[in-house]
């Protein structure tokens, strides 16, 4: 294990390590070529050396686990690198490697604000929405790659203050990310990761190895529910309303109690958005692109008013700039988002029978 002053692959440790992730890893800052980076040291798995204790059979099993660990992290890194760059709001992995028996990950160092979660909920609504929007934009990058973050929580959303005094969010920690419909296998309690406060209903069932849930049920929609819980905290300072007899929001949802945004004085557009994100049925939750576009256009949506009189437009025409379209009777129908959402960008990579494949454009 590294100590202050020691270096690994050119990264010199400049600060004492701090343990994170339930003791499964620790982190510090390291310097290389005059630049400071965030350095994470994984305490497990450990790659067995030839002279490591244990039988050859046991060491072979450990090597196989390490190989799966390496493949997982490298596949995610390749996919994310194809759609992001350093300095963006998604803090991607710069380097991932093994030194001796230990694995390390390097990311950019982010100078974060000291603002607390409860204080975010007291910001002017426009500033709160900017935080929500930058989180959604980063998550959209992952979801377009068919990647589920898998461990969304306030600790993994770094809040940074800009030169203008606004606050933006940076999304970190993809160690528990996975390609949709291919979550990590849960064989025992040691495989359980993340914070149960932010589980989706389907993730909670999967971790409990509920027979009604299969890997195919773990899609990017799981992140949407979790994000709805976090958005509730950013907007109101509180978790969504849920059955007080339950410990967590997802447990309440799984006994049929629909979570909802805590009663706060918020624009109806935001209330509707967050409540849709918290839908018990994953199929009813909006995709992240809809979430982002709704946040981007929330003030326009809020101002739209439907007149009871027939609009002075011909059948088949479109109300310019309103996202409204007349029916065959001349009445106006209002889409759920009120603002036309452009089609999803094609996913560059996908998961096919456990393998990463690249779609031809």
The average pLDDT across 26-45 equals 96
Q: Is 266 left (phi over 0), alpha (psi -120 to 50) or beta?
A: beta
Give the C-alpha separation, 245 to 99, whole Å.
48
Percent of the chain at pLDDT above 90?
71
Burial category of 308 from C-beta neighbours within 10 Å (exposed 0-12, middle 13-18, buried 19 and up): exposed
Nearest to 93 by CA among 80, 112, 103: 80
Q: Which fold has domain 117-297?
A: Transferase(Phosphotransferase); domain 1 (1.10.510)
Superfamily of domain 7-108: Phosphorylase Kinase; domain 1 (3.30.200.20)
d(CA 44, CA 69): 10
Could you state, in order of their start, the residue ranges of all structural domains in the chain?
7-108, 117-297
Q: Average of pLDDT values for 255-259?
A: 97
Distance CA 30, CA 34 (A): 10
Lowest mean pLDDT segment, chosen from 20-24, 173-177, 196-200: 20-24
Question: Could you tell me if 132 and 234 are in contact, meaning their C-beta atoms sit under 8 angstroms apart?
Answer: yes
Element (H, E) at 26: strand 25-32
Q: Can you count the helices (H) and strands (E) in the chain?
A: 9, 15
- Distance, in Å, from the CA atom of 151 to the CA atom of 177, rounded to the nearest integer, reads 7
- DSSP letter for 153, please: S
Query: For the residues 8-30, what does the mean pLDDT come to?
Result: 91
Q: What is the pLDDT of residue 334?
A: 34
Rg for the chain (alpha carbons), in Å? 23
């Amino acid at each position: 294990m590294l100590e202050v002053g020691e270096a690994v692959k050119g990264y010199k440790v400049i600060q004492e390590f701090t343990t994170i992730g339930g003791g499964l890893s620790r982190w510090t800052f390291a310097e290389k070529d005059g630049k400071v980076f965030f350095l994470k040291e994984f305490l497990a798995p450990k790659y067995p050396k030839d002279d490591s204790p244990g039988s050859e059979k046991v060491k072979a099993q450990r090597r196989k686990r390490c190989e799966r660990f390496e493949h997982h992290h490298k596949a995610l890194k390749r996919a994310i690198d194809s759609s992001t760059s350093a300095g963006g709001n998604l803090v991607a992995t710069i380097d991932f490697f093994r030194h001796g028996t230990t694995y390390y990950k390097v990311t950019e160092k982010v100078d974060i604000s000291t603002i607390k979660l409860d204080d975010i909920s007291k910001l002017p609504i426009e500033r709160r929405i900017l935080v929500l929007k930058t989180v959604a934009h980063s998550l959209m990058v992952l979801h377009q790659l068919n990647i589920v973050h898998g461990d969304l929580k306030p600790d993994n959303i770094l809040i940074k203050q800009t030169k203008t005094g606004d606050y933006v969010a940076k999304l970190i920690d993809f160690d528990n990310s996975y390609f949709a419909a291919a979550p990590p296998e849960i064989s025992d309690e040691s495989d359980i990761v993340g914070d149960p406060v932010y589980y989706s209903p389907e993730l909670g069932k999967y971790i409990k190895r509920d027979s009604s849930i299969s890997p195919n049920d773990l899609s990017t929609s799981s992140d949407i529910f979790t994000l709805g819980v976090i958005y509730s905290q950013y907007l109101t300072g509180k978790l969504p309303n849920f059955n007080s007899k339950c410990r967590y929001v997802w447990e309440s949802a799984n006994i049929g109690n629909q979570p909802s945004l805590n009663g706060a004085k918020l624009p109806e557009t935001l209330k509707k958005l967050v409540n849709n994100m918290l839908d018990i049925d994953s199929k009813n939750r909006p995709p992240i692109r809809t979430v982002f576009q709704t946040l981007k256009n929330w003030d326009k949506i809020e101002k739209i008013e439907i007149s009871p009189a027939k609009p002075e437009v011909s059948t088949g025409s479109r109300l310019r700039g309103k996202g409204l379209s007349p029916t065959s009777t001349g009445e106006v129908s209002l889409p759920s988002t009120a603002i036309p959402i452009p089609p999803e960008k094609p996913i560059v990579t996908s998961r096919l029978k456990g393998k990463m494949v690249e779609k031809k454009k």
